[in-house]
Chain A
Amino acid sequence: MIPRAGILATIWGAARRPNALLLVLAAGFAAGAAAGMSFNQIVGEFGRRFVENRYLTMPVALMLPLVGLLERHGLRERAADLIGRARGATAGRVLLLYTAARQISIALGVNIGGHAGAVRPLIAPMAEGAARARHGELSAAASELIRAHAALAENVGNFFGEDVFVAVGAVLLMKGFFEGVGVPVGVWPLALWGIPTAGFAFGLMWWRARTLDRLIEGMEAKPAARP
């Protein structure tokens, strides 16, 4: 019964689409109230956890000035230039390459990419460009399919490379949680056991990339002679 209140609050919130922070806070208050905590106890609990978990945000805050500085001096252009030289490019291969680059770099702790930072300005146009080079002007459906898969490539590369690096959110969160409940677990084993799934994810991405190229071929196969 108790969890239901919190989860229902979250679902209700999502349906109405208010701010996600407010949603989380509301769910926390619902759960806390169900547990018999007072208003101040709940606020204090959020405050305590907020301070304890500053390490989730600290690396981002310290890295963004560097990222901004390097972007200003052409980091993204340089990266695009490097990738753009690849030959034999298809939409699927561009996306597969991006997933690989994203997985490897984030496993090393470098968070390049992102939907706004890389997919929209670089990756989606490159994938569409590769398909256009092969099939001529693309139908709206094919174009939409490629762009949706560009977002997929970003998410897969991001999610399934991240856990291999020890100093980012997921591994630290797990370590913190296990320590909190008295089960000591090191960060390195947590990162190590993320590796097999990272491999599987890349294999599946390879399959999706091939499927995408075949789908595009099917959609864009032009009749030999047009009336």
Chain B
Amino acid sequence: MTLLPLEVFHGLAGLVFLATAGSVATDRHHPRRWGSAGFWALLSLTFLGGKALPPLAVGYLVLAMVLLAAAGLVGAGTTAGPEPAQRWAEARRLGNRLFRPALLIPATAVAGSLVLGRLQGANWRLLEAKQATLTSLGLGAVLAIGLGIHLTGARLREPAKEGGRLLQSIGWALLLPQMLAGLGGTLTRAGVGDGIAGLASHLLPMGNPFAAVLAYCLGMAVFTICLGNAFAAFPVVTLGIGLPFVVQAHHGNPAIMGAVGMLCGYCGTLVTPMAANFNLVPAFLLELRDRNAVIKAQWPLAAALWILNVLLMALLVYRF
């Protein structure tokens, strides 16, 4: 048996969402009280229930969350953080000790994936071997909260409340990665990969190893520009071009292809208004008159980096 399965940490995350829902529901001044409380409660249900719930039920919960968010019923509360003067006083009181809990998380994650993942006896093991890194990360976060509470002398309510406040400021965007994974699923079922593979071999001489690399990197950038997210482009383009041509036909290294290919996608993210949270939101936040000023500042670097990535992949992927 596994003593600390990953599911424990999914459950803890569910409890954080539940606490957020609770604090929203009891906040009488919250501008979108019931919509937001419902949203966080539903999310907490999907995390606490997880695999015990039938996928269709989770799907409808997700549908309900999306509709709440799309209807504009989910928003942040009005409770502000502490006053700057108070924060400065705390910064002076605690000094560099403040960094310790923040550093404990990566330290635990690294130690955990190297050591804790191997701890086992005849009929038990500490962590699921495959999930050692993720589980250690969750463990690190829990330990760091303990250390943080010890250092600051705060009560347990405080991190719960502050966490809820930050979660609300992210809001529904928190679900985007999981939603994009769902989109990737339907796109795969729809055979989008095959469609792209056909198109790519139509346009480029895929028998040439360099052309395969070029097509994959180009596909990652273009799809990211269209979808606004490299995570959504990755499964589609990798299934369509990467695996059949770079890996299977020319025996490229999938790890190198994936790692560099994802970064080609990020170059696309830098130049697309579809990636609103990275390119448009900051333009608003920084009160820029030109809404595209961030993209205009980014495109030369993005183009240069994309070319370097193509060369890097062409150089390495068939060699290791």
Contacts and interface: CB of A to CB of B under 8 A. Distances in A.
A21 B176 contact: yes
Contact of B294 (A152, A181, A200): A152
Contacts of B46: 50-51, 54
B316 A65 contact: no
Interface string B53-82: 111111111110111011010000000011
Nearest to A107: B106
A189 to B, nearest CB: 4
A63 to B, nearest CB: 5
Interface string B148-177: 110010100011111101110110111111
What does DSSP make chain B's interface, helix, strand, loop or mixed?
Answer: helix
Which among A35, A45, A66, A191 has the greatest number of chain B C-beta atoms within 10 A? Answer: A66
Nearest to B309: A197
Contacts of A166: 109, 113, 133
Interface string B92-113: 1111101101110110010001
Nearest to A81: B91
B192 A6 contact: yes
A57 B297 contact: no
Nearest to A22: B70
B34 interface: no
B213 interface: no
A172 B288 contact: no
A46 B62 contact: yes
B186 interface: yes
Given A51-B51, A155-B270, A183-B254, A61 B167 contact: yes
Contact of B59 (A50, A56, A65, A66): A50
B283 A151 contact: yes
Given A37-B186, A46-B182, A197-B312, A69 B145 contact: yes
Given A62-B12, A64-B167, A167-B137, A193 B66 contact: no
Given A151-B294, A181-B243, A185-B255, A74 B70 contact: no
A207 B300 CA distance: 11
A64 B70 CA distance: 24
Interface residues of A, number: 115
B297 A71 contact: no
Contacts of B228: 10, 14, 20
B207 interface: no
A52 B59 CA distance: 12
Interface in A116-137: 116, 119-120, 124
Contacts of A155: 269-270, 278-279, 294, 298
Contacts of A27: 183
Interface string A18-43: 11111011011101101101001011
Contacts of B239: 181
5 contacts: A6-B190, A64-B16, A156-B298, A166-B109, A193-B256
Interface of B: 6, 9-10, 12-13, 16-17, 46-47, 50-51, 53-63, 65-67, 69-70, 72, 81-82, 84, 87-96, 98-99, 101-103, 105-106, 109, 113, 131, 133-134, 136-138, 141-142, 144-145, 148-149, 152, 154, 158-163, 165-167, 169-170, 172-187, 189-192, 195-196, 226-228, 230-232, 234-236, 238-239, 243, 247, 253-256, 258-260, 262-263, 266, 269-270, 273-274, 276-279, 281-283, 285-290, 293-294, 296-298, 300-301, 304-305, 308-309, 312, 316
A-B pairs with the 8 shortest C-beta distances?
A: A68-B162, A74-B91, A47-B59, A65-B163, A47-B58, A43-B59, A35-B190, A65-B159
